[in-house]
Structure 1
């Protein structure tokens, strides 16, 4: 067995050997019982996070914000929002995490700001002050309409009229989130400066929100329309100067200060990502693709992400395999199934009733045995599920604006169909408060929480999971140990098996004379194992979510949602 030694870990890029735990502060742990998670609440739970064996924490935005988009509308990049605590609290969190050898990754949200940011308020005042060109302003057309047909990701036009300046400004998301003008070198320098500020406080790296959107086509052409769309969300990523701007970030901040980076790249396919993460190009370390997260979306639907379908496992295998093969020797993968924008996997793609433990650990096995850096979203490690909410229970600005567009205005979806889709894929499914125990409010807070608690918290919580025979979190601990201790998971080759099989994700990782075969049943069916793997006398079981310890224990059947990894010598 190829083991990864401490000296080698220290001498290599740390993030290639790491597992990163994502904390959504608003919903993690409330230390002062005001209903909002906070920084001191995160500090209280550092021992728990450390116990999982992870190496770093990614913090969603903690900055001052009106919270139109749950903190992604930032009004002050250098100040902590009072609902989360103080700057001093955050500095202490960074210090306490470092004492536990946990690195801190912060969110960089610089495609746009809040409309309450000083930059935007000043920019509104005139066309000839220092901040005038910090944002993207355009005159109305002769008929008074928007400058072009670009659409907002939150529905409607991407342009908003400003009475004070008598011009339209661009916003790819909510109208309260005006896009920054990266063509302006003053904007770029302001971003570099705020990144240096946080580096000085001890931050180790950045997750960069929609970073591939920062460059805009300066001709501002109309996007090709389909389905008689008035506003079109297309061709708004990967602009002409995107690589130049990201390279500038690398040269000005990332490389000089040795900061890790992972960029959100919504429209990127593997060939695009190779340009973004190839070390020779000096841009990013990793990117988050959205491609594999669309396997339950109808390809030609007229209602965007709300036209859902059952998960296409063949497509999932194809996409993940493409990224494994395309990125090998050309960069590094960021691996994830859940985050603050993604629903809970056991509910979305698995079976969150009869096989909640099994399906949660099955998908975890698929992900953590791939080449790349796994990201775990809070609650994923205990198999949290989507809540059974009514429409009025949802908070997300995207859901509310999309409901207005597709149900009320276009009437292309019924309220019932929209709610069914929301139960499957809404971003709010991941934002319910963390379930710590079966006491009041799931142990998150002694007060009523900012967002409704998932009704299954008495059954699914950290305390209960860690004591259970079928413990999702203990299985995650075992997976993380495997990643830390076995070089084959970092450097081994990848080969997909049974590509067209609709139920089983099977692949091989090989390094030297060692071969690991990962076999994961992603269905409720009992299947014949021999189709995917046949053990020999020397075969060993590396890990199994059915607690099998010998290759012969697997009999000849793959149980529903069974995940098992075999080791053989080539």
Structure 2
């Protein structure tokens, strides 16, 4: 396994919204290159870049038209290779976003698959044997091809599903994962990985990794598929990293992934922390962390206590962190995010508290997500330094508030969120117990109660983390011999008489 993951801190870049260097209103590869030193100075040593391949952008690049070609609006393949090289010059790493489950209807593979005469792409996608039948639990697109049948789609109607087979077949047209069509699809996706790793990327974050093999209730088919991929990578590129968007680490780690994302949908209770009516990290102190902790512990044990569960500050698919928690609450939230196991993922702009931009029309399939995809706010100049284009040409409308946060202003303010995150990252990197593989034990996480307290440890040290987002003093029972306060925000906890008393709106890391 790539050792660099042990202390990796990822920065997620949405390329179209990061920095535009040619004045067309859309971010580009050169813009990312120009800001690599900024990312490194913040403390992040790895990048996850959202899809950057050729696409009609009906779903912001998650509808690929050519897996082997960079999207011209971002630059050329040579530009992308130069980005990889510049990342590596700084002793950083970069993962591309791989979307193996579906393509765009504009992909040449799909156009060939639509033809009535058999060809090498006939079984590249999942086709039924009838144009007329209705499907249960699957979307489909019909009446668009000369061949008989409907094509299964993932998500939007313009995203036909690639064929990796069905674990449990219930219809004659469904293929087995070991049939020639599904095997050829997997082989081609391995070719895609081979191409980009050869160009210099360090691996992939895999979109919806647990959904490739269909009718796979227990994920056995998908685990088997990814084990094949891992065997291929181990043989040719043993250092190549795979991070899954799966949400079930016990399954994804079995499949050969190094880490798994904690998803904001499903049973994780991640939204209880930041994105609900009463988030745990609100100063109102009406939230509940207990269900999240129970689910986390369950996943932690299932994954053999490896702790490789990534908790993002946010991403392109969910509301900005600053939509529901604000000001000093954000600093307390990052004390949590940067002290948990697994690699932290910071969504671009979250380090300065960028806001969700309300009431935007959908852009490139964003719909309600569009407000979380607005252009990065660098400085006080035109378009906050994002682009020299007229503002009406920007990819997404920017936050136009006069008090919008910027990198320039936050870097100049020693008490800013930016500097707090930078400080937290430095502390994490100085203590191996706080990094990806350090163990975790929750010591206080009661229903409807504050604070949250947990121990991080390895064979070198043990650190008590106490997080109290509520605006009131709280306490819990515990007898701890504290050697040193490694980090405090909002005041220091008091340890006396078998009780720990914690100031309101505070976070602390205590070396035991």
TM-score by length of 1: 0.77
Structure 1 residue 521 corresponds to structure 2 residue 468: yes
Of 228, 231, 243, the match for 1:262: 243
In structure 2, the partner of 1:432 is: 374
* CA positional deviation for 1:535: 6.7
In structure 1, the partner of 2:308 is: 332
Structure 1 residue 504 corresponds to structure 2 residue 451: yes
SS, match of residue 95 in structure 2: strand
Of 57, 66, 85, the match for 1:76: 66
Is the 2:363–2:370 contact (alpha carbons within 8 Å) kept by the matching residues of 1?
Answer: yes
Q: How does 1:384-403 map to 2 (within 5 A)?
A: 384-387=354-357, 389-390=358-359, 392-395=360-363, 397=365, 399=367
Structure 1 residue 477 corresponds to structure 2 residue 422: yes
In 1, Cα distance between the equivalents of 2:77 and 2:402? 32
Structure 1: state its 5+ residue gaps.
1-10, 152-156, 218-235, 298-305, 400-425
Q: How does 1:357-436 map to 2 (within 5 A)?
A: 358-387=328-357, 389-390=358-359, 392-395=360-363, 397=365, 399=367, 426-436=368-378
In 1, Cα distance between the equivalents of 2:493 and 2:333? 22
In structure 1, the partner of 2:164 is: 182
- Pair 25,564 (structure 1): closer, same or farther in 2 beyond 3 Å: same
Structure 1 residue 444 corresponds to structure 2 residue 434: no
- Alpha-carbon deviations, 1:46-82, whole Å to 9, x = none? 1101112222111111110000000000001111111
In 2, Cα distance between the equivalents of 1:166 and 1:336? 44
* CA positional deviation for 1:332: 2.3
In 2, Cα distance between the equivalents of 1:501 and 1:283? 35
* CA positional deviation for 1:532: 6.3
In structure 2, the partner of 1:33 is: 23
In 2, Cα distance between the equivalents of 1:455 and 1:35? 16
In structure 1, the partner of 2:95 is: 105
In structure 1, the partner of 2:258 is: 285
- Pair 134,89 (structure 1): closer, same or farther in 2 beyond 3 Å: same
Name the structure where helix makes up a greater proportion of residues: 1
In 1, Cα distance between the equivalents of 2:84 and 2:384? 26
In 2, Cα distance between the equivalents of 1:109 and 1:137? 19
Structure 1 residue 542 corresponds to structure 2 residue 493: no
Q: How does 1:108-507 map to 2 (within 5 A)?
A: 108-140=98-130, 144-146=132-134, 148-151=135-138, 157-183=139-165, 184-217=182-215, 239-254=219-234, 256-257=236-237, 258-266=239-247, 268=248, 273-278=249-254, 283-290=256-263, 291=266, 294-296=269-271, 309-311=277-279, 312-330=288-306, 332-348=308-324, 350=325, 352=326, 356=327, 358-387=328-357, 389-390=358-359, 392-395=360-363, 397=365, 399=367, 426-447=368-389, 448=391, 449-456=394-401, 458-490=403-435, 491-502=437-448, 503-507=450-454
In 1, Cα distance between the equivalents of 2:146 and 2:104? 17
SS, match of residue 361 in structure 1: helix
- Pair 544,324 (structure 1): closer, same or farther in 2 beyond 3 Å: farther
- Pair 533,440 (structure 1): closer, same or farther in 2 beyond 3 Å: farther
In 2, Cα distance between the equivalents of 1:42 and 1:29? 7
Q: How does 1:57-68 map to 2 (within 5 A)?
A: 57-68=47-58
In 1, Cα distance between the equivalents of 2:409 and 2:217? 43
In structure 1, the partner of 2:82 is: 92
Is the 2:95–2:204 contact (alpha carbons within 8 Å) kept by the matching residues of 1?
Answer: yes
- Pair 433,55 (structure 1): closer, same or farther in 2 beyond 3 Å: same
Is the 1:216–1:240 contact (alpha carbons within 8 Å) kept by the matching residues of 2?
Answer: no
In structure 1, the partner of 2:44 is: 54
Is the 1:535–1:551 contact (alpha carbons within 8 Å) kept by the matching residues of 2?
Answer: no
- Pair 519,374 (structure 1): closer, same or farther in 2 beyond 3 Å: same
- Alpha-carbon deviations, 1:223-255, whole Å to 9, x = none? xxxxxxxxxxxxx77655211211111111355
Number of aligned residue pairs: give it. Answer: 474
How large is the RMSD of aligned CA atoms in angstroms? 2.6
In 2, Cα distance between the equivalents of 1:274 and 1:240? 12
Structure 2: state its 5+ residue gaps.
166-181, 280-287
